[in-house]
Amino acid sequence: MPLPHNALPRPLLVGAGVLALLLGSGAFGQSVPETAETEDDASVVPFALPQSGPFEPADIEIENDQAIADWFRSAHANAAAEAFRHWDEEGEIESSCATCHSGEGFRDFHGLDGSEAGVVDGPIDVGGVVDCGTCHNAGLAQISEVTLPSGVAHPVQGVEASCLTCHQGRAAGGDVEEAVADLALDEPDPSLRFINPHYATAAATWLGGYGASGYHYEGRDYSGRFFHARPVESCNSCHEPHTLEVEFEPCLTCHQADSPQDIRISRQSYDGSGDTSVGIRSDIEANANRLLDMIRAYADEVAGVPMIHDGTRYPYFFTDANGDGAVDMADGAPVAYGAWTPRSLRTVFNWKLVTSDPGAYAHNPAYALELLHDSIADLAGPLGIDMDALDLLR
């Protein structure tokens, strides 16, 4: 028997998964029942589709449809990206990774789903992304601090908990210091392995020396959190929260430039070029490239085992024992570099931390330049390079 035109069959009710995308209550991480208790209580189930018809899809009003559309086109929603597909073959996301690679894992870690906070109980299914409930969950208001890899507990408010949880990296300079303790500075040690600060480390850069994400050399001071210029002092001050794009127009209040990358914050040249007509990003990139060249030279000349860097595959640094310019292979797999010394490990950690944040020039340029300068100076001695001749500024 056909249904009357004003009746909506139950299979067409929008389930909780879609409601989480389309409607405020689901999007904010609150529980949404799949069916209404009564037909008259519209507050029980917020329908995305009208409860009567006929209707045209284009006529359905969704108050936050622009925010949804912006989010859907952002990297946070790209379900095809490696950041969310890496665990497809395993069928579930590793608990140590799930916090930032799935909205479900994020809520689990912070106890927003009713579980114990501080640990992912799992299992966390694949296929999730950084969804609405990652940033709009009402429970975020109860999170007062986020602990960084360095052990520093940083106070947060609201959505800051989401940003800092997932953009702090997964290792800090203290991890490097612990790994190399009591080892001869320039002797390769088979116990050492590349320590990866991880990716998109914007919060680690932004908090600077206060967050202690980089390897800090003894006797050196490091710039702290980059406050920029109030009120431009938080993630949402610069990034549109759904598209993640940088809102450049406010920058023009103080800076004359065609893009954020062209902004220069200093009259000094830090890379020895003397060119202050380009953005500070240029100085950071030049010193990062110089440092990587020195890391490879050190591996060849001091550690005695040539190294090849390949940024497309983990662990990024591989052995080229015969120096033929090709990565050594064993059993069909590339051989990870294994001749790390304490000196090379700490310099490569700083290089990776700085280059893992493509926005370091805006998040904390002073801290990035300091880490690069001190790492270059660290390698200059054993390589016989005159730091004064490089004309670098810290």
Instruction: Tell me the per-residue pLDDT of 109-149, one tens digit each, with 9 for 90 and over.
Output: 999 999 999 999 879 999 999 999 999 999 999 999 999 99
Do residues 183 and 207 both lie within one domain?
yes
Do residues 20 and 140 both lie within one domain?
no
**pLDDT for 338 beyond 50:** yes
Do residues 266 and 223 both lie within one domain?
yes
Do residues 373 and 268 both lie within one domain?
yes
What is the H or E stretch that residue 204 is in?
helix 202-211
**Residue 188 identity (one-letter amino acid):** P
pLDDT range class, residue 293, cuts 50, 70, 90 = very high
DSSP-H helix ranges across 23-159 = 24-27, 65-72, 82-85, 95-101, 103-109, 132-136
Average pLDDT of the segment spanning 200-215: 96
Query: What pLDDT does 47 receive?
Result: 56
Query: What pLDDT does 58 receive?
Result: 79
Distance CA 3, CA 9 (A): 8
**pLDDT for 2 beyond 80:** no
Query: Which of 140, 166, 192 is the last residue before a domain boundary?
Result: 166
Give, in order, the Cα–Cα distances in Å from 204 to each of 132, 242, 303, 348: 24, 21, 30, 16
Do residues 359 and 298 both lie within one domain?
yes
DSSP 113: T
Do residues 221 and 368 both lie within one domain?
yes
pLDDT range class, residue 179, cuts 50, 70, 90 = very high
Distance CA 384, CA 280 (A): 28
- Phi, psi (rounded to 5 degrees) for 11: -60, -20
Query: Which of 125, 145, 166 is the last residue before a domain boundary?
Result: 166
Asked whether residue 294 is assigned to any structural domain, the reply reads yes
Asked whether residue 71 is assigned to any structural domain, the reply reads no
Query: Which of 166, 197, 217 is the last residue before a domain boundary?
Result: 166
Average pLDDT of the segment spanning 322-330: 95
**CA dihedral for 316, 320, 325, 329, sign (positive or negative):** negative
What is the H or E stretch that residue 125 is in?
strand 124-125
Full residue range of the structural domain in which residue 263 is found: 173-304+339-390
Asked whether residue 324 is assigned to any structural domain, the reply reads no
Asked whether residue 309 is assigned to any structural domain, the reply reads no
More confident residue, 68 or 24: 68
Do residues 183 and 243 both lie within one domain?
yes
Distance CA 46, CA 36 (A): 9
pLDDT range class, residue 228, cuts 50, 70, 90 = confident
Task: Work out the mean pLDDT of the chain and round it to a whole number.
Answer: 88
Query: What pLDDT does 46 receive?
Result: 53
Q: Sort residue 244 into left (φ over 0), alpha (ψ -120 to 50) or beta.
A: left
What tokens were used for 66? 């622009």
Q: Which of 155, 141, 166, 156 minimizes the C-alpha distance to 28?
A: 141
Give, in order, the Cα–Cα distances in Å from 185 to each of 192, 197, 302, 342: 12, 21, 11, 5
**pLDDT for 34 beyond 60:** no
Burial of 40 (0-12, 13-18, 19+ CB in 10 A): exposed
**Residue 217 identity (one-letter amino acid):** Y
The answer to whether 119 touches 106, Cβ cutoff 8 Å, is: no
Do residues 17 and 157 both lie within one domain?
no
Interior angle at CA 71, CA 66 and CA 76, nearest 5: 175
Query: What pLDDT does 115 receive?
Result: 93
3-state secondary structure (DSSP) of residue 155: strand
pLDDT range class, residue 1, cuts 50, 70, 90 = very low
Do residues 185 and 266 both lie within one domain?
yes
**pLDDT for 27 beyond 70:** no
**pLDDT for 79 beyond 90:** yes
348-380 tens-digit pLDDT: 999 999 999 999 999 999 999 999 999 999 999
Asked whether residue 313 is assigned to any structural domain, the reply reads no
Give, in order, the Cα–Cα distances in Å from 289 to each of 16, 309, 348, 373: 49, 12, 12, 12
Q: Tokens 């980059």 belong to which residue? A: 226
Average pLDDT of the segment spanning 223-252: 89
Give, in order, the Cα–Cα distances in Å from 69 to each of 21, 26, 54, 239, 341: 10, 16, 25, 16, 49
Distance CA 332, CA 386 (A): 42
**pLDDT for 24 beyond 60:** no
Distance CA 327, CA 136 (A): 46
Split into its structural domains, the chain has a count of 3
240-280 tens-digit pLDDT: 999 999 988 888 889 999 999 999 989 999 999 999 999 99
Do residues 162 and 195 both lie within one domain?
no
Query: What pLDDT does 64 receive?
Result: 84
Do residues 207 and 237 both lie within one domain?
yes
Q: Tokens 């986020």 belong to which residue? A: 146
Strands 333-334 and 329-330: antiparallel
Asked whether residue 34 is assigned to any structural domain, the reply reads yes
pLDDT range class, residue 324, cuts 50, 70, 90 = very high
Asked whether residue 97 is assigned to any structural domain, the reply reads yes
Asked whether residue 345 is assigned to any structural domain, the reply reads yes
Do residues 184 and 300 both lie within one domain?
yes
Percentage of the chain modeled with pLDDT above 90: 77
Tell me the β-bridge partners of 93.
Answer: 124
